[in-house]
Amino acid sequence: MSGSILSPFTALFSMTDEQAMWRVQMHDDVEAFARLVRRWEGPIQRLCTRMTGDSHRGEDLAQEAFVRVFARRKEYQPRGRFSTFLWRVAMNLCYDELRKINRRSEISLHQDGEEAMDGLDSLAVDESAPDARLVEGERAELVRRALLRLPQPYRVVVILRHYENLKFREIADVLEIPEGTVKSRMAEALTRLHQLLTPAIAEKEPPSPRKQPKRIEESLVL
């Protein structure tokens, strides 16, 4: 008896994202959709926050992405992974938002670095010592500011690769560009970040003869 009661729930949690989206599309299955939201709301919110530099707007955009997916569920074409489709929806919303910000000339790097990104830190547990947290916090602040200064094509590649751990071919699928283009953009992005971060980090942290300077890629994990 218990097995027959639990079997629908077991099937729901064992299904792939693509199977869940199929149920959403064909049967308006709200439980399957809730599963997709639970699985992806964290990554999508982080993406939107890092793209816009605003944690509150990032949360709103993530919610809007899921609303849009559900509203257009009948139009969904399962040609690839559901995650690729979802990343693309969220990215387009971020691009729209950034265009609006640029048109209104409301972007402020000081606000982006000092206030708007604060909510992102609450997504991770920090158990390091107070002095270590101070140093890491200052370095993270520099990285965030530098990331926001990158043009959008470079910023998104860095975010998807270094923060969301997508492979180059997965990023290429999301952005609908050749994998070679993704790699060249990553190389250019790291070069620009190096130019932005090296003087700032040197000013904050004078070099020690016993310590080797961090590579730019290592700073991006913050």
Domains and CATH numbers, the chain: 16-123 (1.10.1740.10), 125-222 (1.10.10.10)
Lowest mean pLDDT, pick from 37-41, 139-143, 173-177 = 139-143
13 vs 188 pLDDT, higher one: 188
Average pLDDT over residues 117-122: 45
Among residues of the chain, what percentage have pLDDT more than 90?
57
- Per-residue model confidence (pLDDT) at position 105: 59
Task: Examine the pLDDT at 52 and tell me if it is beyond 80.
Answer: yes
> Is-contact 82 17, C-beta < 8 A?
yes
Distance CA 43, CA 49 (A): 10
The token duo for 109 is 């790097």
The residue among 186 and 198 whose pLDDT is bigger is 186
Which residue type is seen at 139?
Answer: R
Question: Rounded to an integer, what distance in angstroms lies between the CA atom of residue 222 and that of residue 220?
Answer: 5
Distance between CA atoms of residues 172 and 99, nearest Å? 22
For residue 205, what pLDDT is reported? 60
The count of other CB atoms within 10 Å of the CB of residue 26 is: 11
- 46 CB-side CA count, 13 A: 16
Of 33-37, 127-131, 146-150, give the lowest mean pLDDT range. 127-131
Tell me which range, 97-106, 124-133, 142-151, is most confidently predicted by mean pLDDT: 142-151
pLDDT score of 77: 85
Residue 180, classified by CB atoms within 10 Å of its CB into exposed (0-12), middle (13-18) or buried (19+), is exposed
Minimum mean pLDDT among 9-13, 14-18, 52-56: which range? 9-13
